Amino acid sequence: MTRRGSDFAGLSVAIVTPFKNGEVDYDRLQEQVDFQVNAGTQCLCPVGTTGESPTLSHDEHHRVVEAVVEAVAGRVKVMAGTGSNSTVEAVQLTRHAQEAGVDAALVVAPYYNKPSQEGFYQHYKVLAESCDLPICVYNIPGRTGKNIEPETIVRMAELPNITMVKEATGSLDQASQVLGATDLTLLSGDDSLTLPLMSVGGEGVISVVGNIVPEDMLALTRAFAAGDLAAAQAAHHKLFPLCRDLLSLSSNPIPIKAAMRLLGRDTGELRLPMCALDAAGEAKLRVTMEQYGLTPVAV
């Protein structure tokens, strides 16, 4: 079955927003883009959860999207985070991203205000009608406070430019229901569930761990797509402890920024209310990284 959005199959990386002295560090951002492009990552996703979008001003959000598009220079796809719990604001962010030249919009479910299922549908319908971009519905009830039910996503699939779902409910049943009833492309929103989701019809991942080991996550998705289940399973089991720690030691993106700092690739600076990983968490992360084969620097 050919699915809408399948041109975003494989590895997308939800990149962090680097900060220095409280400001966006655009030099580091350029370095991150080049690192990902050189690794073979197929799509970059700026200003999402991993990019600390809730603490960016609108001007910063716009500028980060523009900077990533400029740095990518057509070498890979860009799927920018443009969601909000305000439909009007989400429309504004999505329209700006389209004007900036992104290839798709990653739109998180409206958070905090917990709309009804009809409210979810109407929110995405307005967004879909306000732009020409392919839209990826980002369903992460652990962050937003409410699940977009499969039946609602099936309704959304009737809208022409709703083409993808970033699945972060942790439910294979929900993923299976969406895949069985629509022609949407499903992308994993949890690194450790990438292989299980691909086994029921998912086509890739929007990854956090890909910030530090994109080649290994790319190897997993390519192995499964090529029918080499043994290689995909081996990659999954190697990646699992690292994926687990990056999403369990603290809220994303706290652990991944710590890991990048330990690898000498980022300042690790976060914006409040996010704060640095505590000493015990960093010690555990360091051990996991060393066991994985990564060599943390002395900091």
pLDDT in tens, 168-204: 999 999 999 999 999 999 999 999 999 999 999 999 9
Per-residue confidence (pLDDT) for residue 268, from 0 to 100: 80
With beta carbons less than 8 A apart as the criterion, state whether 268 and 299 touch: no
Is residue 138 annotated as a catalytic residue, yes or no?
Answer: yes
Q: What is the pLDDT along the chain (299 residues), one digit of tens a residue?
A: 689 999 999 999 999 999 999 999 999 999 999 999 999 999 999 999 999 999 999 999 999 999 999 999 999 999 999 999 999 999 999 999 999 999 999 999 999 999 999 999 999 999 999 999 999 999 999 999 999 999 999 999 999 999 999 999 999 999 999 999 999 999 999 999 999 999 999 999 999 999 999 999 999 999 999 999 999 999 999 999 999 999 999 999 999 999 999 999 987 899 999 999 999 999 999 999 999 999 988 65
Q: Which of 35, 37, 43 is nearest to 6 (CA)?
A: 43
Residue type, 80: A
Per-residue confidence (pLDDT) for residue 296, from 0 to 100: 84
Which is the catalytic residue, given 77, 124, 146, 166? 166
Domains of the chain: 6-225 (3.20.20.70)
Q: Rounded distance, CA 135 to CA 114, Å? A: 21
Q: Rounded distance, CA 124 to CA 43, Å? A: 22
Residue type, 196: P
Per-residue confidence (pLDDT) for residue 297, from 0 to 100: 81
Residue type, 218: L
What is the value of pTM for the model shown? 0.96
Which is the catalytic residue, given 121, 124, 138, 257? 138
Per-residue confidence (pLDDT) for residue 266, from 0 to 100: 83
pLDDT in tens, 47-68: 999 999 999 999 999 999 999 9
Is residue 112 annotated as a catalytic residue, yes or no?
Answer: no
